[in-house]
Amino acid sequence: MRRILAITMGIVSAGAIAATALAASMDDMVGKWKWQDFVVECVKGGEHGISCKVASGPKNVGMEMIMSPLKKENDHFVGKVKHPVNEQVYNTKISMADKDSWRLDGCTDDGACASGTFVRVK
């Protein structure tokens, strides 16, 4: 019984360490990210502490996507993000799926919703 308890505690501890490793910071957003036909480049600075602009794609090259400060909530960020295709602003939850991908989920004030995964360009 003690052995089962020790193994279970070891698994729980390993899971907690892994979850902590994915607790992202804004620094983890810095870099180039691909989503569909777009590449977005994020750098430190700008009006909201981080700037993410469309670096290449079928339209809106140069457009700033971060429209408000990104606030840390538990293991994700929330803020207003402009969609690279339709230029609508979404109230967005941004979470790091792993070290090379971000998941964005959000809705406009009018109720249109969108989501997507941005993958690091290597």
Total-model pTM: 0.79
d(CA 82, CA 66): 6
Question: Which tokens is 38 given?
Answer: 């777009």
Residues of the chain with pLDDT under 70: 1-23
> Are 42 and 28 in contact, with CB atoms under 8 Å apart?
no
CATH topology assigned to domain 25-120: Lipocalin (2.40.128)
**pLDDT for residue 1:** 44
d(Cα 64, Cα 57) in Å, to the nearest integer?
Answer: 13
Residue 4 CA, chain-centre distance (Å), reads 37
What residue spans define the domains of the chain? 25-120
